[in-house]
A and B are shown apart, each in its own frame.
Chain A
């Protein structure tokens, strides 16, 4: 099983700043089958990024994904209050797994 480790656990930033979230895999992620999801309190997760760097439908270009192999990054530029959420990475290869999440607080 591929273990995904996200860091930091919590990120507190003011509006307008840039957030950088990390997702590190215990083994190489096949063909960049790496996705990022956003989950706001009381809501279901929402797909943001797939294939490590492709934005899902309707996702603003403030969200960008990068990386390959075992190291992946989600960047959120020009932070807005509505970006407060927990962000999860997921590898969707043979035995899919999720990371434990990074909480982003906009203060």
Chain B
């Protein structure tokens, strides 16, 4: 069965970096796009962008083009989200999710989320 497992919670100081991992299993990793979604405390879901797991090409939504980096290690079926120069407003739950079949598809399997807290 498909599983998406994310790394654990992180507490970071402003100005540092964090790298969140998202390990997939139960399917061929390179056949489904991985999407990243942010949820600030008490807020709704925000689309951050995606990474094509076949080509490795990332696409970032507006507002996530500078300090956010999507990457892959296909040898271990894992996607990564790195956030550089952390700010307190980056405090949020970060989800990765698998996009379903087809060119345009919903998010059919989600990781459990990784809470990133930025505080001095």
Contact, CB under 8 Å: B44 / A93: no
A88 neighbours in B (Cβ, 8 Å): 44-45
Taking the nearest CB of chain A, how far is it from the CB of B67, in angstroms?
20
The closest CB in chain A to the CB of B35 belongs to A96
Taking the nearest CB of chain B, how far is it from the CB of A41, in angstroms?
11
Contact, CB under 8 Å: B44 / A101: yes
Contact, CB under 8 Å: B104 / A44: no
Contact, CB under 8 Å: A47 / B107: yes
Chain B: interface size category: 20 to 34
Residue A7 CB within 8 A of the other chain: no
1/0 contact trace for B9-29 toward A, CB 8 Å? 000000000000000000000
Name the segment of B74-82, B84-92, B110-118 touching the other chain.
Answer: B110-118
1/0 contact trace for A22-65 toward B, CB 8 Å? 00000000110101010100001111001000001000000000
Residue B68 CB within 8 A of the other chain: no
B105 touches which of A44, A92, A100 (Cβ 8 Å): A92
B110 neighbours in A (Cβ, 8 Å): 44-46
Contact, CB under 8 Å: B61 / A50: no
A86 to B43, CA, bound (A): 11
The closest CB in chain A to the CB of B4 belongs to A44
1/0 contact trace for A74-96 toward B, CB 8 Å? 00000000000010101011011
Contact sample, A vs B, 15 pairs, CB 8 Å cutoff: A35-B106, A35-B107, A37-B45, A45-B107, A47-B108, A56-B106, A88-B44, A90-B106, A92-B106, A93-B104, A96-B35, A97-B47, A98-B46, A101-B44, A101-B45
Residues of chain B whose beta carbon lies under 8 Å from any beta carbon of chain A: 35, 37, 44-47, 61-62, 95, 97, 100, 104-108, 110-113
Residues of chain A whose beta carbon lies under 8 Å from any beta carbon of chain B: 1, 30-31, 33, 35, 37, 39, 44-47, 50, 56, 86, 88, 90, 92-93, 95-101
